[in-house]
Amino acid sequence: MRIDPLPVGIDAPVRPQDNAVLRAIGEALAGLDYGSVLITVHAGRVVQLDVTRKRRFPD
């Protein structure tokens, strides 16, 4: 999966930390079969990434 960085606003440049956040989100999604990814934002900035993995067992 490839995630291309997008500007936050019309004239907002992509900051180096934005690339790190996008990379971390991509890695979280790539390693997840079942579960959720929660992105916490404060004042317009991603400050936390929580990954919950679920394990499914056959019946």
pLDDT tens digits, 30-43: 989 999 999 999 98
What is the predicted pLDDT for the residue at 37? 96
pLDDT of residue 45: 87
Mean pLDDT of the chain: 83
Domain count, the chain: 1
Contact (CB, 8 A) for 38 and 49? yes
Q: 29: number of CA atoms within 13 Å, CB side?
A: 11
pLDDT-based confidence at residue 15 (cuts at 50, 70, 90): confident
The boundaries of the domain holding residue 25 are: 1-59
Percent of the chain with pLDDT over 90: 44
